[in-house]
């Protein structure tokens, strides 16, 4: 559970950052399209890749985390997930708001 939480934290951070970055960088969006045919598909594949790699690395480095470490990682995961959702909601609300 600890390794999974760590992987999810990094995946959420990556997805949030790249989602916003793509809106300002046509080159990044074009590159993601060239990787998988659509920028959302490529971003999703990279997000899964980050999750898997971080999961494996953390699991190998820390196979028996304490209950306190697991609880801490889960609290961070929940906070990052909520924060990411808020950031993206505010970004797209502002970005596409018609005045």
**What mean pLDDT value characterizes the chain?**
94
Tokens matching residue 30? 């074009």
- Tell me: the pLDDT tens digits for 64-95? 999 999 999 999 999 999 999 999 999 988 87
Q: At what angle do helices 26-36 and 39-61 cross, to 10 degrees?
A: 80
Tokens matching residue 49? 């890749």
pTM above 0.75, yes or no: yes
Q: At what angle do helices 2-24 and 67-95 cross, to 10 degrees?
A: 20
């Amino acid at each position: 559970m600890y390794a999974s939480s760590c992987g999810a934290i990094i995946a959420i951070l990556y997805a949030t950052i790249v989602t916003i970055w793509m809106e300002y960088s046509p080159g990044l969006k074009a590159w993601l399209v060239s990787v998988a045919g659509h920028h959302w598909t490529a971003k999703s594949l990279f997000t899964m890749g980050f999750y898997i790699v971080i999961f494996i690395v953390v699991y190998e480095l820390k196979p028996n985390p304490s209950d306190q470490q697991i609880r801490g990682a889960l609290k961070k995961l929940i906070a990052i997930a909520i924060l990411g959702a808020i950031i993206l909601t505010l970004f797209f609300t502002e970005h596409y708001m018609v005045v």
